[in-house]
Structure 1
């Protein structure tokens, strides 16, 4: 295994979750500058998420349970304006749930041909 689960989570899963969160906030009619302020990121980062230049390798929307959690988080962010640490903690929790349910295994195998998703149960056992 050349690319471990933590690398997959930090380089691919987390950015994909943030991209989808940005999409949900945009769907609420918020402007890029408003989204950036709420998420404690730059407007440029929001633009890259929306233009699929960042976080586009995993389509989080196909995992209904995860997408519903992100939609709920977007609503909470818009209403309560949590700190960047609270948002980060929630996103990490959602990322761990994705790993624990095995949603990322086939993607991991695509970026690292040495990974055999049939044999590897690391994420499912650690985070499931």
Structure 2
């Protein structure tokens, strides 16, 4: 595993880009190359190199509108004398802090250190934080569940046409952004389940709605996976002592309707399903304490149903 510090990204990627942009802006304001060099803390030869290079306006840093706005403010302030080096540094540090909060610096850091990809990392902002550890474990649990789904060929037969998602909520989840899921959903392709990307928070709407509704009634429920509604699957669930709960397929106000159904049942069953409606495919949801737990139960039911 490559080990890259966030500071390295700032030094090697962010500052050279901003210095080059500042050099051009200061030159446009009429400053000499030596005056620009004094402001930037570099040599006159470096400034000459910045000015002779082809201007770049793409990439995570140069292509971000906040970079251009900050560069223009600093250049105008230094050129007019209304801003000194301290003021310029404050502007630059504010920009870098904003970029470290799940911004372009995070994007560059993930490229340099692939182990961070899919973690929604904000280590630079919060440092070592127990909440971050919970987020990482939640993402890891969904990854393990996705691996289980993709390595069991039998599961391809119960993937809906719209695709399958696996989700897991944080312990205090209240909105879809608190639920980790697979961006773009998993699909059955040539008899196998293909996982398109690593899990992210806020990547699902329908599975998240189901999990949050269930979690509000039974806090132990944090995970779910959706499958096609199959009579043999529901029968296999009943054989295991699970009493599936049917609900209306309509999407309108689904969260509150599910909560009402759970309260009426006085429990959150491990399987809820609907038979579809106009333009809505029949879907069943297997719930569990974690995403991995729900996916394991789903795999066992598929095996028992011999689908």
The question of a shared fold, defined as TM-score above 0.5 by the shorter chain, is answered with yes
1:120 aligns to 2:112 (yes or no): no
8 Å CA contact 1:22, 1:50 repeated in 2: yes
How far does residue 13 in structure 1 lie from its aligned partner after superposition? 1.4
**Residue 30 of structure 1: how far off its partner (Å):** 3.1
| TM-score of the aligned structures, taking structure 2 as reference length | 0.35
Match of 2:106 in 1: 105
**Aligned pairs (5 A) from 1:3-22:** 3-22=4-23
Cα distance in 1, alignment partners of residues 124 and 58 from structure 2: 19
Distance in 2, Cα, partners of 1:4 & 1:112: 9
Question: Cα deviation per residue 1:90-120 (whole Å; 9 max; x = unaligned)?
Answer: 3233222222251222222222222215432
Larger deviation, residues 79-88 vs 30-39 = 79-88
Unaligned runs of 5+ in 1: none
Change in Cα spacing, 1:81 to 1:108, as seen in structure 2 (3 Å) is same
Match of 1:37 in 2: 38
| Higher gyration radius (CA) | 2
Q: Would the alpha carbon gap of residues 106 and 38 (structure 1) be closer, same or farther in structure 2, given more than 3 Å must change?
A: closer
Distance in 2 (CA, whole Å) between partners of 1:6 and 1:83 is 24
Distance in structure 2 (CA, Å) of the matches to 1:26 and 1:4: 33
Deviations 1:50-91 (A, max 9, x none): 345xxx995633111221111011000111175544434432
Q: Name which structure has the greater RCO, CA cutoff 8 Å, separation 6+.
A: 1
Partners in 2 of 1:100 and 1:20 — Cα distance?
Answer: 22
5+ long unaligned stretches in structure 2:
128-307
Q: Quick one: structure 1 residues 97 and 61, their matched pair in 2 at CA, closer, same or farther if it must change by over 3 Å?
A: same
| Deviation of the 1:27 alpha carbon | 2.5
State the Cα distance separating 1:44 from its structure 2 match: 1.4
Normalising by structure 1, what TM-score?
A: 0.72
Q: CA RMSD in A?
A: 3.0
Give the 3-state SS of the residue equivalent to 1:41 in structure 2: coil
